[in-house]
Amino acid sequence: MTASLTLGPVLFNWPVDRWRDFYARIADEAPVDTVVVGEIVCFKRAPFFAEAMGEVIERLSAAGKTVWLASPILVGSERERSAMRDLVGSDAGLPDGGLVEANDMGALALLAGRPHAVGPTINVYNEATLGWMAGRGAVAVSLPAELPAATVAVLAKAGRELGIGTEVQVWGRAPLAISARCYHARAHGLHKDGCQFVCGNDPDGMPVTTMDGQPFLTVNGTQTMSHGCLCLAAEMPALVAMGVDRFRLSPQAMDMVRVAEAFRAVLDGRRDGAEVAAELGGLIDAPLVNGFYHDTAGALRVA
């Protein structure tokens, strides 16, 4: 199976014009195969992008990209559940190849028996879980960012035997946790219901430091992410050899077309992964990390 590049959904609260322009450039210039769109972190943000969603999907599809719709990570209220049911039922309106990517167990239940994808926020740690998902209609599973190489190899082998694609995130801050509370609002002395959308002030997330002032994590509304930027460019040849056939880039507030071009070159064997990591590390205001893959602390960078 030919390996492909996936661009995950924008996780941050960008102005809608910036969001629309970002996807227009991705459509025209980025060498990615699949683009996942949708607001998955905070239900309150979703209405801002709803009007532009159809235009974005049409633009991406016209450029030859396969478009998937992402479901929210955490669904609480009845209003949110109703919106998710509508979203899950909307895949019939997607262009050919379009799927819904489930990011919580509620979406998985609604998608049972239909072809769908599984996002990296759903825990898939063993072959039994992968088999259960395949039996319910999953055709691709994006593995959690915290898995070490040995586990990825086992799951990639199982995925091949089950006939489903396995995906690994190779760029972008790693999603670690989601909460019903909004850390961003709390940090500004606000309640979640009256957050004033302060998360929009941090297009790459809000840095969190320890008591000693050391960078620790990144907060994105209700989401906790890694401080460092996950980069597995140097590990991609090993991942391909394991049987991983999908590679995910998570958008950051930077030139993502350049990122996509660099990872495509590694995937095609035209560039060295370590060289690409060194180049891209100079473009983002965060250290590059790959510790999870190497079975150590995720915040570390292993040569």
Mark the binding-site residues for [4Fe-4S] cluster, compressed into ranges. 42, 182, 195, 199
Q: Which residues make Cβ contacts (< 8 Å) with residue 79, sequence separation at least 6? A: 43
> Each residue's pLDDT tens digit in the chain (303 positions)?
589 999 999 999 999 999 999 999 999 999 999 999 999 999 889 888 888 999 999 999 999 999 999 999 988 888 888 888 888 876 656 777 789 999 999 999 999 999 999 999 999 999 999 999 999 999 999 999 999 999 999 999 999 999 999 999 999 999 999 998 898 999 899 988 899 999 999 999 999 999 999 999 999 999 999 999 999 999 999 999 999 999 999 999 999 999 999 999 999 999 999 999 999 999 999 999 999 999 999 999 998
Please check whether residue 113 lies inside any domain of the structure.
yes
The answer to whether position 234 is within a domain reads yes
Report if residue 92 sits inside a domain. Answer: yes
Residue 254 belongs to domain with CATH number: 3.20.20.60
Q: Is 131 domain-assigned?
A: yes
Does residue 122 fall inside a structural domain?
Answer: yes
**Which residue segment(s) compose the domain that 109 sits in?**
4-174+229-289
Instruction: Give 25's DSSP letter.
Output: H
d(CA 115, CA 93): 14
Has residue 140 been placed in a domain?
A: yes
- Indicate the annotated binding residues: 42, 182, 195, 199
In a domain, 207, yes or no: no
Number of domains in the chain: 1
Tell me what percent of the chain is helix, strand and coil, each rounded to the nearest 5.
Answer: 40, 20, 40
Residue 247 within any structural domain of the chain: yes
